Structure 1
Amino acid sequence: MGARSEYFANDDQSNWRSWAIVRTGEELAIGFVAAGQKREGVSEIGYLLAREAQGHGYAREAVAILIDQLLAEGHRRVFADTDPDNQSSIALLTRLGFTLEGCLRAEWQTHIGVRDSLIYGLLAEEWSSRTAG
């Protein structure tokens, strides 16, 4: 494995959990993955990777490990919210088998203005059939 995920924070006031992405044999984090339970059996995921670490499969590996963990905990659905211009995130979600479920128009106020948000979802049975094949 090219990267490993380590638990690094758990805020008791939040339902979000986060793990650092650390290259095997190194100590410096190159990114993180996070999951927040939205309702019983459904979690939103997020991820961030240092620019210099992109393109090596670290995010794909870490997000796949996160999905495995969430489904092992009994989640039936995992989803992610991404900006329509974030082609790297869209490509990652698509490679992992997520389906575009919709566009929330004018969803976020950001430093570059009001932005739409794309919602990608993955069901437990879709992940199971994908990883079994």
Structure 2
Amino acid sequence: MTDTPVLKTTRFTMRPLQRSDCAALFPTLNDEDQCRYLTRPAFASEEELWGWLADPTWDGRTWIAEDAGGQVAGRFVAMPGHEDGVSEIGYIVCADRQGQGVAGECTAALVDYLFNQDGHRKLTAEVDIDNTASIKLLERLGFAREAYLREHEVTHIGLRDVLLYGLLKSKLT
């Protein structure tokens, strides 16, 4: 797997995951409302969360957004896509930081890195049909809706429709 480099934004340092990040992420990932659009329910303990975050069989990369004061603001991920040059991205912002532009700023930095440093040609994101905040973010960043996948995924809240978004590097230049 490729290393997870440190990325900088105006307000955040995006760095690799550390064990201590679990305590900062747990209040958000322990909340059913915050986990509504995850494929699994909220986590019952920090140990359970750490097992998920640090799963050795997962082949993605995690960046933790940390502000200048060292406070964790969110988790951002990139997972290998169906072929080289394609990755799927994902994100969750800590509940106490939502509405502050964390997702937009850090996802933009991740997109820039994946295209301009990592050599990707396409990025994708899957989003629950009801996750309007995530849909708006992806569209602001230039992602285009490529597919409406009906009854695509069974999650802890039931059978869900999913939108597939894509962003091509060739459309940015």
Larger-Rg structure? 2
Structure 2: gaps of 5 or more residues? 1-9, 19-53
- 1:5-40 deviations in whole A, cap 9, x for unaligned? 1122686643200000112x2223121100011221
Distance in 1 (alpha carbons) for counterparts of 2:132 and 2:17: 28
Distance in 1 (alpha carbons) for counterparts of 2:99 and 2:125: 20
- Mean alpha-carbon deviation: is it higher for 9-18 or for 76-85? 9-18
Q: Which residue does 1:46 correspond to in 2?
A: 90
Q: Which residue does 1:79 correspond to in 2?
A: 124
Q: How does 1:1-133 map to 2 (within 5 A)?
A: 1-8=10-17, 13-23=57-67, 25-38=68-81, 39-71=83-115, 72-127=117-172, 129=173
The verdict on how the C-alpha distance between 1:84 and 1:7 changes in structure 2, with shifts beyond 3 A counting, is: same
Distance in 2 (alpha carbons) for counterparts of 1:37 and 1:121: 14
Please state whether the residue corresponding to 2:92 is helix, strand or coil. Answer: strand
Deviation of 1:68 (Å): 1.2
Distance in 2 (alpha carbons) for counterparts of 1:110 and 1:13: 21
Which of the two has greater strand per residue? 1
Counterpart residue type for residue 59 of structure 2:
N
Distance in 2 (alpha carbons) for counterparts of 1:97 and 1:30: 23
Counterpart residue type for residue 5 of structure 1:
M
Deviation of 1:118 (Å): 0.4
Counterpart residue type for residue 37 of structure 1:
P
Distance in 2 (alpha carbons) for counterparts of 1:2 and 1:56: 11
- Mean alpha-carbon deviation: is it higher for 6-15 or for 108-117? 6-15
Please state whether the residue corresponding to 2:119 is helix, strand or coil. Answer: coil
Deviation of 1:112 (Å): 1.5
Q: How many residues align?
A: 127
TM-score w.r.t. length of structure 1: 0.87
- 1:42-70 deviations in whole A, cap 9, x for unaligned? 00000000122112211111111111111
